[in-house]
Structure formats: structure tokens, C-alpha cells
Amino acid sequence: MRRDRIVIVGGGVAGVSAALLLGKLGREVTLIERQPTLVAGPPFCHLHAGGNLYREIDDDQCLKLLRQSIDFARLYPFAIDRRPTVIAVPTEDSGKPEQLLRRLELLRGAYARMVAEDPGRKVLGEPEGYFRLFEREEIENLARCEAVERPRNAREWMIPLAHHLDLERVQYPLILVQEYGINLFRLAAGAGLALEAMPNVKIRRETKVVDVRREGTGFRVECEGAFDGAIECDYLINAAGFRTGEIDEMLGVKERRMVEFKAAYTSHWAKRETLWPEVIFHGERGTPRGMGQFTPYPGGYVQLHGMTQEITLYPDGLVESAPQTSQPRLPDHFLEKIERGWPKEERDARTRRAIAHLARFLPDFSEATVGGPPLFGAQQIPGEDPTLRVAEVAFPLPGYARCEIVKVSSVTDMAREILRDLDQGESSEIRDEATLWQIPQLGDVKEEELSERARRIAASRGYPAMMGDRCVGT
Ligand SMILES: Cc1cc2nc3c(=O)[nH]c(=O)nc-3n(C[C@H](O)[C@H](O)[C@H](O)COP(=O)(O)OP(=O)(O)OC[C@H]3O[C@@H](n4cnc5c(N)ncnc54)[C@H](O)[C@@H]3O)c2cc1C
């Protein structure tokens, strides 16, 4: 049975990706989003193409993140910042860089096999260059080289870091890996433009779903806001992000899950020269030495994470659903931030702590200043394992799909599973994997229009417009 009338609750990356695929296949899709713009939920900046930021996850999750990230980069090439990530293990850390090598080799082999099967998957550069090690002597030599405006190889990418790194604070080798960046503003702009070009997709912005009921074999979705009224559909996709439990509760579906509030900070380093790689300083999550993440944007802006309770995490930031409920309840001060923004003092204090956290390794970075509002939000984690990084979709009722992605790269697997459920495995569209994700409306988006909209979206959310610009393209 084809179920053609589809409602998607939530226009985050999960909802828009499902809408793009189903819209391309000619289904009648209504995408409902309570915010004025799409992809306005928690932020994302890193394409986890191998999961190397996480020492605690198993090989299977890493391999899946690699494969999914490649699919994601092929779907949204305009949102990918093609710059590598450098991973450093601090001297103060109990881990050793060598402990990361076995997995990197496993990932490099897997990437080579994927590319051999389908050369279109070569989106992370040559497989043999998936990672590259740098001993201290080489870093010392690079520190004497001049930075280049457009780095062409791993050595050139390393120069700015070599100029500023406190060489005594990290263990060797340093690892450069082809995990790229994602610009969420560009993704919001490009996906929005493509969806608007689909006559069979209706986008209801500034519209909140307040109730959902089963009606016959379908659903009745009650909305309030810019669109006031009910929409009937044959198939319902719950992509409401950390509020997926609210829709479950409307339908009487019980499910255990967690919700976590986290924040990254916007800093500005006026003297930052040229392009930087992203830089990760490993550390034990939740301790004062938690991982530090330095994510460069154009114009000297740098997004910062520090996996400590005083920076990115909060002591009361991870909550689970109580028995007999589906929606974990975040303390009010988090909802206040999500709905109304941050108190300036807290924003500035946490941003300064984030700068100090990174300046332990990059002493000159202590000059950086607060560059804008934090990038923050709450995200869903299905089940009871807070270290889960790969999760996609479940089908708790006939005609009802619930998306719960933890990393954005899961969206292609998620949408494919939804299509399979929609068509009960009968769809020839699914069998043709090669063309499934060719979405002409995404290919037709004009760069000029996209970058103009990305800047506008960044500015409308209070960020410097330049954060909507790409760091490095293809
Ligand atoms: C600080 C931080 C950093 C992160 N960094 C990364 C990263 O680098 N890489 C990565 O892969 N992932 C990262 N993540 C995770 C990533 O942000 C999430 O996985 C992703 O955004 C989830 O997308 P989603 O579409 O499922 O949910 P959301 O983006 O939350 O979208 C859900 C949408 O549903 C809407 N909605 C909810 N209820 C209703 C309703 N009743 N009616 C109408 N609309 C509704 C919301 O307004 C929202 O826009 C990070 C998360 C955080 C918090």
C-alpha cells in the first residue's frame, strides 16, 4: 500500500532530509516546524567520518559513522568544509596516541574498500591519506615555515597549528585525519531552497504541532501558529528532536530515552592567520580536563567545545524519561535558554572559560574574545546508553516513524529505512541505491543564492553573518 500523504513534525536535519527524499519521489509532504527557519535545533560542526573524537565507542559505531558520513557529504556537498582535523593527546592525559592507531588503520582500510566499490565515495580525499602522523621534529620544522593561504596537503594544513601549539603540552605523534567540518547555516539554506523548489512539499514554518490522534489507518495532526488547523495524513514522521517524546506521548507510545543539553561557544581571534584545521585535544569527558575542540570559521571566528561541566556540559544537563513517560523533562533554565536565549553574564563567563580551556595548549589564543552567542541545544539519545553515537529510526505503530538521530550523518540511513517502511519493502526506488540520493533540486541550488541565504540565517539567529560562509570548498 502506498501511503502518499505524509506529515513530518520537525524541520531539523532529520526532518528536512526525509522531506527531500520523499519529496523527490513525488510524495505529498507537509513539513511542520515551530521555528521561523529550518535546521534551527542543536548545532553541528563536525562530520564524524570515523568517530575519532570518541575514544570510548566501539569499532562498529566508528565504521558506521564513516560510511554514513560519506553518504552525508555526498548528499550535502555544499555544506561540507573540506578541512582536516588534528587530534592531539595532551601530556596530562592517561591515554597514548599509539592507542588510536589500530582503529585509524581499520578505518583507512574500510574507506579504501568503499572507494574501490564505488569511486563516488571518495569524498574524504585519497584513502591512503585518510590519516597522517606528525612527530615532534616535523612540527618543529613546520613552525619555521610560513603559513599558506590555501593549504594543499597535510603538511601545509599543519603549519598554523605548529606556529601556536605549546609543544610541551601534547604527546607525539599528532594525528591529522580527514574528518571534515559541516556548516549548519549552509545546510539550512541549501536544504530550504531545494525543498521550496518541490511543488509537492509544503513547509509550514512557525507552526507548532499541539496534538496528534489516530484516525482510521492514518493520523490527524493539530497545529497552532502561522498555520492554525488540522492536517490529515496516511503516514506520520516524528522528527521533533529532543521533543520526540512529546509526540510519542500524544499517541500513547511509551519509550525510554535521554535528552542532553550542551553548548559550544563563539569566540573571535582577531590575529588568527589563514585557514586552520579543526583541532581536538583529547580528555576525559565530564572532568576539568575534558576534550577541547577548536573549530575554525571564516573571519577569525572559532567555535569552542570543552567537555567539562563548566563549559559544554552541565551537571543537570543529561536527563532520562521517568517510568511511564516518554519525554525526559529538562530543568527550566535549559528550556529558558532554548526558547528565549542566554543571560549575557553566563554566555560570557562560559565563553571565557572555553577560551582558557583551549589556551592551555594554544597560549596565544588567550587573546580571543567573545565572538557571538553560544551554539547550543538539547538533543535526544534513544535508550539508556549516553555514549551511543549512531541511532536512526524506529516504527512504534503502523504508519508512524520516529527519528532519533544522535549524529547528523545518520540521516541517509534513517530516510532509507522510512522509505522501506512506507512501501513495506516493495519499492523499486530503494533497490536502486545508485540513484536514490540524486536529488535534482539540491543540485540546482545556485551558490550565490545559497551563500546569501546562509549569511542571512546566521545573522537572523544573532551570529556573525560570516559564520554562514564556507571555510573551504571542494
Ligand atoms: C552542542 C552540540 C554540538 C553538536 N555537534 C554535532 C556535530 O558536530 N556533529 C554532529 O553530527 N552532531 C552534532 N550534534 C548533534 C546534532 O545537533 C543532532 O544530532 C541533530 O541536530 C538532531 O537533528 P534532528 O533533526 O533530529 O533534531 P532537531 O534539529 O532538534 O530538529 C527538531 C525540530 O523539531 C521542531 N519541533 C519540535 N517539536 C515540534 C512541534 N511540536 N511542532 C513543530 N515543530 C517541532 C524543533 O523546533 C526542531 O527544529 C551536536 C549537538 C549539540 C547539542
- What number of helices (H) and strands (E) belong to the chain? 14, 20
Residues 5-42+185-253+385-465: name the CATH superfamily. FAD/NAD(P)-binding domain (3.50.50.60)
Residues 209-221 have pLDDT tens digits of 999 999 999 999 9
Atom 45 in ligand 1: residue holding the nearest Cα: 10
Percent of the chain with pLDDT over 90: 89
Q: From the CA of 246, how far away is ligand 1's center (Å)?
A: 15
Atom 5 in ligand 1: residue holding the nearest Cα: 44
Q: From the CA of 389, how far away is ligand 1's center (Å)?
A: 14
**Cα 429–238–39 angle (5° rounding)?**
90
Residue 312: pLDDT band by 50, 70, 90 thresholds? very high
Find how far residue 333's CA is from the centre of its chain: 24
Residues 248-302 have pLDDT tens digits of 999 999 988 999 999 999 999 998 768 999 999 999 999 999 999 999 999 999 9
Q: Which of 407, 409, 461 to mutate to test the pocket of ligand 1 (most atoms within 8 A of CB)?
A: 407
Task: Report pLDDT for 383.
Answer: 83
Taking residues 321-345, report their average pLDDT.
Answer: 93
Residue 223 alpha carbon, nearest atom of ligand 1: 42
Find how far residue 242's CA is from the centre of its chain: 14
Q: From the CA of 39, how far away is ligand 1's center (Å)?
A: 7
Residue 145: strand, helix, or coil: coil
Pocket of ligand 1, beta carbon within 6 A: 9-15, 32-35, 40-46, 48, 208-209, 239-243, 262-264, 376-377, 379, 403, 405-409
Residues 361-418 have pLDDT tens digits of 999 999 999 999 999 999 999 887 777 767 789 999 999 999 999 999 999 999 999 9
The cell 509537492 sits on which residue?
Answer: 200
Residue 406 alpha carbon, nearest atom of ligand 1: 19
Q: From the CA of 41, how far away is ligand 1's center (Å)?
A: 4
Dump strand ranges (E) for 18-130: 28-32, 80-81, 85-88
Alpha helices, H only, 309-410: 332-340, 344-359
User: Which cell numbers hold the place of 140?
Assistant: 618543529
Residue 263 alpha carbon, nearest atom of ligand 1: 1
Atom 21 in ligand 1: residue holding the nearest Cα: 42
Task: Report pLDDT for 426.
Answer: 66
Residue 210 alpha carbon, nearest atom of ligand 1: 41
Domain boundaries, the chain: 5-42+185-253+385-465, 83-181+257-382
Q: From the CA of 240, how far away is ligand 1's center (Å)?
A: 8
CA distance 126 to 157: 16
CA distance 259 to 419: 27
Q: From the CA of 242, how far away is ligand 1's center (Å)?
A: 7
> In whole numbers, what is the pLDDT of the chain averaged over residues?
94
User: Domain 83-181+257-382: which topology?
Assistant: D-Amino Acid Oxidase; Chain A, domain 2 (3.30.9)
Taking residues 309-315, report their average pLDDT.
Answer: 97
Q: Are 353 and 310 in contact (CB under 8 A)?
A: yes
Judged against a pLDDT cut of 80, whether residue 474 lies above it is answered with no
Q: Which of 8, 21, 44, 227 to mutate to test the pocket of ligand 1 (most atoms within 8 A of CB)?
A: 44
Q: From the CA of 13, how far away is ligand 1's center (Å)?
A: 7
- Whether this prediction's pTM lies above 0.75 is answered by yes
CA distance 277 to 46: 12
- Spell out the residues 6+ positions from residue 233 whose beta carbon is closer than 8 angstroms to its own: 5, 6, 7, 30, 218, 219, 221
Percent of the chain with pLDDT over 70: 97
User: Which cell numbers hold the place of 438?
Assistant: 540524486
The cell 545518520 sits on which residue?
Answer: 410
The single-letter DSSP state of residue 143 is: T
Residue 38 alpha carbon, nearest atom of ligand 1: 49
Residues 146-184 have pLDDT tens digits of 999 899 999 999 999 999 999 999 999 999 999 999 999
Residues 433-447 have pLDDT tens digits of 778 899 999 999 999
Residues 47-102 have pLDDT tens digits of 999 999 999 899 999 999 999 999 999 999 999 999 999 999 999 999 999 999 99
Residue 2: pLDDT band by 50, 70, 90 thresholds? low
CA distance 102 to 438: 35
Nearest Cα to 22, choosing from 244, 198, 184, 208?
A: 198
Q: From the CA of 404, how far away is ligand 1's center (Å)?
A: 9
Q: From the CA of 414, how far away is ligand 1's center (Å)?
A: 14
Q: Which of 53, 243, 294 to mutate to test the pocket of ligand 1 (most atoms within 8 A of CB)?
A: 243
Atom 13 in ligand 1: residue holding the nearest Cα: 44
The single-letter DSSP state of residue 322 is: P
Residue 43 alpha carbon, nearest atom of ligand 1: 17
Burial 227-243 (b: 16+ CB within 10 A, else e): beeebebbbbbbbbbbb
More confident residue, 12 or 256: 12
Nearest Cα to 164, choosing from 300, 358, 369?
A: 358
CA distance 360 to 390: 32
Task: Report pLDDT for 392.
Answer: 85
The phi and psi torsions of 462 (rounded to 5 degrees) equal 90, 5
> Do 83-181+257-382 and 5-42+185-253+385-465 have the same topology in CATH?
no
